Amino acid sequence: MLAQAVAHDGRLLVPLLAVAALVLLPAAWGRWRMRRILMSGDVERVLGTWHGSIDRVPHRATMGPLLQATAYAAYGWSEAARQSLQRAVKGPAWEAALEQRLFVETLLDSFEGDRETAVRKASALESLPLPAAGPLARRRIASLRRGLGALARAFAHASRRGDGRALARAASASPLVHWAMRYAAAIVAIDQGRPGEVHGLLAGAPSWPRESAFHGYHHELLGRVAG
């Protein structure tokens, strides 16, 4: 209809573009701003932006702490994530959130050194049926699941062919786990004899606090390359 209107009267093009900009730009700006926050690695700021949504989430006593644990785990704050999981009320909502729990626990087990358990949980997550959603959402979820499996194998030093691509796609699919996937990709690069890729993978990484496992990983990985 818009194309026909413009074809009929070219003078409509400018006002129609202005209306489109007014409609689309706020949403695009909001997504860009949220992506920057998620990429910053500042977990407290991330949780601050989520505060209103967490307060309104159904089954808040269960899902609120689980969402907090997700953020902490994604940025390597293992102890804070475990404490959040302990606060979550166990019940029907907890059982229904199996995918979310497997996601969080796989990250935590990987970072805490329980690598075999992490690989097993990542495999269980990847085998779950995909939720009823649109094709784009289903592809994104599948990409994140494959990326999580590759992350668990990377920390277990048992990477497979194609895991590097899976980690890169997952890092692009979700800014929340961008850095987790990048650190896993750096491990894969070293294990597969490509240490020259590490600096590029970790370029622009935040200055991680000591509460984050990424603080130690960052210095360790760069030190192994330098050595």
Between CA 53 and CA 158 the distance in angstroms is 38
112 contacts 83 by C-beta, under 8 angstroms:
no
Confidence of residue 210 (pLDDT cuts 50, 70, 90): very high
Same domain, 74 and 11: no
What is the domain count for the chain? 2
Which residues contact residue 64 at a Cβ distance below 8 angstroms, ignoring those fewer than 6 apart? 54, 55, 57, 88
Same domain, 9 and 45: no
62-71 pLDDT, tens digit per residue, is: 999 999 999 9
Confidence of residue 14 (pLDDT cuts 50, 70, 90): low
* Burial of residue 18, with CB atoms counted within 10 A of its CB: 0-12 exposed, 13-18 middle, 19 or more buried: exposed
Query: Which string of b and e fits 123-140 if b means at least 16 CB within 10 Å?
Result: bebeeeeeeeeeeeeeeb
Same domain, 137 and 197: yes
Between CA 29 and CA 39 the distance in angstroms is 15
Tokens for 96, please give them. Answer: 């229904």
Residue 195, pLDDT above cutoff 70: yes
Same domain, 79 and 187: yes
How much is the pLDDT for 29? 47
Same domain, 7 and 68: no
Query: What pTM, to 2 d.p., does this model score?
Result: 0.85
126-180 pLDDT, tens digit per residue, is: 999 988 878 888 899 999 999 999 999 999 999 999 999 999 999 999 999 999 9
Which residues contact residue 223 at a Cβ distance below 8 angstroms, ignoring those fewer than 6 apart? none
Same domain, 105 and 199: yes
Same domain, 22 and 86: no
Same domain, 2 and 86: no
How much is the pLDDT for 16? 52
Q: What whole-number percentage of the chain has pLDDT above 90? A: 70
Between CA 38 and CA 119 the distance in angstroms is 25
75-89 pLDDT, tens digit per residue, is: 999 999 999 999 999
Same domain, 170 and 108: yes
Same domain, 137 and 71: yes
Same domain, 29 and 65: no
Residue 5 lies in domain: 1-39
Same domain, 94 and 113: yes
Mean pLDDT, the chain, whole residue set: 88
